[in-house]
Amino acid sequence: MNETTTKVILFSYTNYPSLISNLEKEGVKMGENDLLRHGSFTFDLQGVSRAASHQIVRHRIASFSQQSQRYVKITRSYGYLRPSGIPEDLKVPVEIHGQKLDLNFSDVMDLTRQAEEGLVAKGIKAEDSRYIRPNAATTNIVMSMSPRQLIHFFNLRCAPDAQWEIRDLAWSMYAAVSLVAPQVFGPLPAADESDYIKKRVSIVTDLVQKQTAMFDKATPGELYQLELQPYLDFSHPVDSFVRKY
């Protein structure tokens, strides 16, 4: 198992200029609140930990499709995420049948991989063998939300006290939707009560404005990579992409 770089890909989203234009041709005018209710944004989140995916699916008004641990072999998964708060060279003492060992985080992850594969090799069903897979093991999840629910998600998960991994994901997602739908995703409401969020919203706004011209020139179907690091100072590696329509 290897440490993973998370990928956030916004690959499907409502084209608001086209939507508004088509509705106006039919004599329908959409106000700001209407824009929040209508539309959908779909993200492919690759290489997120099971710890983070459990938090993501708690957002009930959304649609999810998650990679199955029952049918996908661990050797085909992306690996694991090591929290930045756990140094790579930090070792802890463990004892197995009287034998003392000093293991780092990567050692423990590799042991769980070997144990799971060993159980499968001895005929244990994969659905049972996976029970020893740690929360750090990564998975892939597709998530679709309306703008209104995304803003609620951002208000909670972009906060300074949010868990570090999902906070990194949330800011990356916020930057992506700000690029494709600036008329809908402006400053977050939570910025009124948090200087931390207010400052980072300003950073994202500046980054998006600087990259809009390049995104507009991208070829339809191309995955455009947003440059967010080191400006947002993520706690772990996150690559952010938007598919150009």
Please give the positions annotated as active site: 157
Give me the sign of the Cα torsion angle 232, 16, 8, 133: positive
Distances, alpha carbon 103 to alpha carbons 94, 98, 140, in Å: 7, 15, 28
Q: Torsions phi, psi of 66, nearest 5? A: -115, 145
Distances, alpha carbon 139 to alpha carbons 72, 77, 96, 177, 193, in Å: 10, 7, 29, 23, 34
d(CA 43, CA 10): 5
Tally Cβ neighbours within 10 Å of residue 217.
Answer: 10
Location of structure tokens 């929040």: 36
d(CA 132, CA 27): 58
d(CA 177, CA 181): 6
